[in-house]
Amino acid sequence: MKWFVTSQDPLLVNADAHVLFVTKDYEKSEMFAKYDSLSKGLLGALISELGERFFDKNCVESLFINMPNFKWIVICGVKELKYASFADLSAKVAKIAKQRKLKKIAFIIADINFDLVNLSRATYEGIRLGSYVFEKYKSKKSGRFPEEVIIVTSKNHEEKIKNALRESEIICSAVEIARDLVNQPAKDANPVSLSQFFKNLFKDIKNVSVEIFDEKRLEKEKFGGVIAVGKGSEIPPRLVIVKYLPLKNEKPYVFIGKGVCFDAGGLQMKSREGMKNMKIDMAGAAVVMAAVYAIARLQLPVNIIAITPLVENLPSLKATKPGDVIEMYNGKKVEIAHTDAEGRLILADAIAYAERNLNPEAIIDLATLTGACVIALGRRIAGIMGNNKKLITTLKEIGDEIGEYLWELPLFEEYKELIKSDIADIKNIGDGSAGAIIGGLFLKEFVEKTPWVHIDIAGVSWTKKDVFIYPKGATGYGVRLLVEFIKKAIQ
């Protein structure tokens, strides 16, 4: 999607549609008055007819006006002056653009009591991510609307907005990479092919190195969790480590993403319905790698390491059996009480490896870990838990601002009793209750002293319908969250 920034007189900007953000005090807006006059009062009449719900429901309405420079006026009712609100409204504009085949959209950024640089970023991210389409496997492609976005602003904001959109363009491209990876079928994103994709993704980026552990090295270094989960597949497991280290003598932040490329449940197989969409179980890995890709392309002054264990959890004669005991990377013995609680096994290995070898500033893991989190929080809020309140609070605040919402779940110590094993140190499931928290408590067993946060994205990594900036399918949730976290950390 092309973008342009201009300080030209808005009424002279050539586009298929002009878009106005309208607040409750719109009658004081000189810009609104100009467009209302062009419409012969129809815009004001439309808002009056819709009443309070125009603002309270974040409504977006379009009016055909047929002026020489533009044919449509689109008005967006702003309920709350918030980054996420502007992004969501812009995503709704993308839907109108698709319906009406509008190729060029101009956003008139004026008379809004909100930082214009952030408003422009939210606008661009909303319309770009809201207009995303995945058509890799379609013979007849519908295309993407709009093709061009114009931000019309004041002269003194023009350069700052251009710089901000260059940054947003990189972040959005990273979100789209994550979405593409999760949307494609598992046969095209298996542990071997996905590890190679990540290697190629970073090959021309400054200060980045990529290392891939194959099955022999995983065996040699005793990644017991990764090996146990991957045993059932003919395609061997991999572990990818991407290091972006522009600074000397600085601890790295470590991002870890669950990469179960397909999850059939192992020998304790999922149901037909439960297995149907399990290509998405590598969303954590896709998001983590995409976030580091954006950070590295932006050349932010921070050290970042991403780790993604990649496996397929399939049943076969070689698959790990219920009741087996495995030795993890840090030496802990785990009883496999259920083969479909596999994500925590590969994440635990990666966490233990990071603690022992990488001296992290902090560890953040993202995983489509538990169906229990979906039941508890639905499909718009991710679960967050960890051992560091400051990290959790910072991530929650960022999530609230950008619309990638988080809710803290307690790592209730009493529940640790539920993962005690009669024959090993711990087991990988509890009694069926508090499933999301049990997953977090299991992972905590592999964190010794590092500040650590676990984010369960099982509910938010995929949507069955269009929801604002998230078109149907993979959402790429977490990419923007991690990038904004790093930007805040280095301020």
Contact 293, 202 (CB under 8 A): yes
CA 201 – CA 244 distance, rounded (Å): 13
Of 97, 111, 117, 50, which Cα lies nearest the Cα of 77?
50
Query: How many residues belong to the chain?
Result: 491
Burial class (CB in 10 A: 0-12, 13-18, 19+), 220: exposed
Longest dimension (CA), the chain: 79
User: Per the structure block, which two tokens stand in for 141?
Assistant: 């492609």
Active site residues: 270, 344
How many Cα atoms are found within 13 Å in the side-chain-facing hemisphere of 438? 20
Q: Is 362 helix (H, G, I), strand (E, B) or coil?
A: strand
The distance from CA 252 to its chain's CA centroid, rounded to whole angstroms, is: 21
Q: For tokens 């999607």, what's the residue?
A: 1
CA 29 – CA 312 distance, rounded (Å): 57
Question: 38 CB contacts (<8 Å, ≥6 apart)?
Answer: 11, 65, 67, 73
CA 211 – CA 308 distance, rounded (Å): 11
CA 163 – CA 150 distance, rounded (Å): 14
Going by DSSP bridges, is the β-strand pair 333-335/72-77 parallel, antiparallel, or unpaired? unpaired
Contact 214, 238 (CB under 8 A): yes
Of 304, 477, 288, 296, which Cα lies nearest the Cα of 399?
477
Question: 276 CB contacts (<8 Å, ≥6 apart)?
Answer: none
CA 97 – CA 227 distance, rounded (Å): 48
